[in-house]
Chains A and B, each alone.
Chain A
Amino acid sequence: MEVTLRVFRYNTETGRTKPSFDSWTLTDVDPTDRVLDLLEFVKGYHDGTLSFRRSCAHGVCGSDAMRINGRNYLACKVLVRDLNSTTITVEPIMGLKVMKDLIVDMEPFFESYRSVLPYMINDEVPADGKERLQSEAQRERFDDTTKCILCAACTTSCPSFWGDGKYVGPATIVNAHRFIFDSRDQAAGERLEILNEQGGVWRCRTAFNCTEACPREIHITQAIAEVKQAINTGKVD
């Protein structure tokens, strides 16, 4: 099939300092091609300066979140046929500064991620001196939020984040949830305090774009609601 690929361009090195679109007509596209394949094809055969991030190409590393036909996806996970359109427009994710073409500055995103202590905190020696046992139910409690690959598709689809970059954003809350509800961890109180601050969970307006955008199908809005509830009740269970 034939597809028109329109891509957002911005590159101070080549003098393209005014954001604009380039467009290519690709004639030999398979409906099961991924949008990433089209971008790779253009970069390889039409314009080597086209810049975007990708690493694993298999939905694992979280490098290639982009706005494709208006919605956030991983370019390596969305098939041409899923878009139901022969024109495909690719733009950078929103709310983070564009550095070059589809590449945005992810530092504010990771800074927010680090702010909620996304690692196990427990200084006690385990009962048997070796390991911290957990029941199946205790492990299941936070299973959903362990799946995050930090792609930022959720955070950059969120109206509250567009309006205020100081909002920690859904991805950060997902990763806080991962430890808050882990029975082996002991710093839930500290994280809940951080998320109860001005840029914390109360910025969530339940617009639900995050859950719709997550390539890992994490129940993000539910996780945020559970953190809100934990703050309100002071209980994590």
Chain B
Amino acid sequence: MTTLISSLRTTLAGYINYRGREGHYSFLLHRLTGLGTLLFLAIHIVDTATVYWIPELYDHAIAIYRLPIFLVGEIGLVFAVIYHGVNGLRIIYQDMVNPASWTIARQRRAARWTLILSVIIWLPAALIMLNTLLAHL
């Protein structure tokens, strides 16, 4: 138990304090977006299940999803899924298809392009969703 807590403390301190380069941040973002997406899916499965078990609650849940704060969250969720997917493909390519691409120069470049590409894919969707959000206000 004490080793669990001390390794958790080391882990969080390392995530925040270790001055890693591109790889460190893409690892963090991948983990954060993966866990974030998982959290959303878990909640979404529960609220969708209410349509069968407690229909009154379902309408209430859907109303909550229409709140502006949740619409903003959804825009973030779309980014999370896109980044996680694009970065996941980068990792699969580098690690399984072409291990020789794990040089410092190529890895840094790949990690940067992954972020840029994700934003490019995300922007159109984000703009459309932002439009809907503003129409709701």
Interface residues of A (CB under 8 A from B): 67, 69-71, 94-95, 157, 159, 162-165, 205-209, 211-212, 219, 221-222, 225-226, 228-229
Q: What is the total of A-B residue contacts with beta carbons within 8 Å?
A: 86
Assess the B20–A94 pair: CB atoms within 8 A.
no
Tell me the dominant secondary structure on chain B's binding face. helix
Assess the B23–A159 pair: CB atoms within 8 A.
no
Assess the B11–A163 pair: CB atoms within 8 A.
yes
Assess the B18–A71 pair: CB atoms within 8 A.
yes
Which size class do B's interface residues fall under?
20 to 34
Q: Which of these, B19, B27, B96, contacts A207 with CB under 8 Å? A: B27
The CA-CA distance from A221 to B98 in the complex, in Å, is 12
Interface residues of B (CB under 8 A from A): 3, 7-8, 10-11, 13-15, 17-24, 26-27, 30-31, 91, 94-96, 99-100, 102-104, 107
Assess the B103–A207 pair: CB atoms within 8 A.
no
Knowing A162-B7, A221-B107, A222-B100, say if A71 contacts B95 (CB, 8 Å).
no
Q: Which of these, A162, A208, A225, contacts B99 with CB under 8 Å? A: A225
The CA-CA distance from A206 to B89 in the complex, in Å, is 13
Q: Which of these, B15, B22, B27, B102, contacts A222 with CB under 8 Å? A: B102
Knowing A71-B19, A206-B91, A212-B20, say if A159 contacts B102 (CB, 8 Å).
no
Q: Which of these, A69, A164, A206, contacts B19 with CB under 8 Å? A: A69
